């Protein structure tokens, strides 16, 4: 029986993690950015759970998800290609 690869993701309210991803050409970890102040409301918890399920494959491959009241935006990693770097 082979060992399954681990998928690492970070769920945060801090915008610094997306800035770090944007500055480099990393393929991971996936970052799920929750852009709301009311992090523990039932609506936000349900919205995040639905987004995680809907974008599971993107998260497994490496992505930045940004979740707010307007919806979820997904950007596949790396945000910058190696040839775009200075």
Per-residue model confidence as pLDDT tens digits over 46-85:
999 999 999 999 999 999 999 998 899 999 998 876 565 5
The predicted structure's pLDDT at residue 23: 84
| Strand 30-34 to 63-68 pairing | parallel
Residue 59 lies in a domain: yes
Q: Which residues of 2-33 are buried (b: 16+ CB within 10 A; e: fewer)?
A: eeeeeeebeeeeeeebbeebeeeeeebebbbb
Percent of the chain with pLDDT over 70: 86
- The total of structural domains in the chain comes to 1
Residue 52 lies in a domain: yes
Residue 74 lies in a domain: no
Residue 1 lies in a domain: no
Domain span at residue 45 reads 9-69
Residue 77 lies in a domain: no
Residue 60 lies in a domain: yes
Residue 14 lies in a domain: yes
Global pTM value: 0.80
């Amino acid at each position: 029986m082979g060992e399954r690869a681990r998928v690492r993701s970070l769920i945060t309210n801090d915008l610094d993690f997306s800035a770090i991803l944007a500055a480099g050409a990393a393929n991971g970890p996936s970052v799920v950015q929750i852009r709301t102040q009311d992090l523990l409301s039932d609506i936000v918890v349900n919205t995040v759970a639905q987004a995680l399920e809907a974008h599971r494959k993107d998260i497994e491959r490496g992505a930045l998800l940004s979740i707010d009241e307007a919806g979820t935006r997904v950007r596949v990693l790396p945000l910058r290609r190696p040839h775009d770097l200075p």
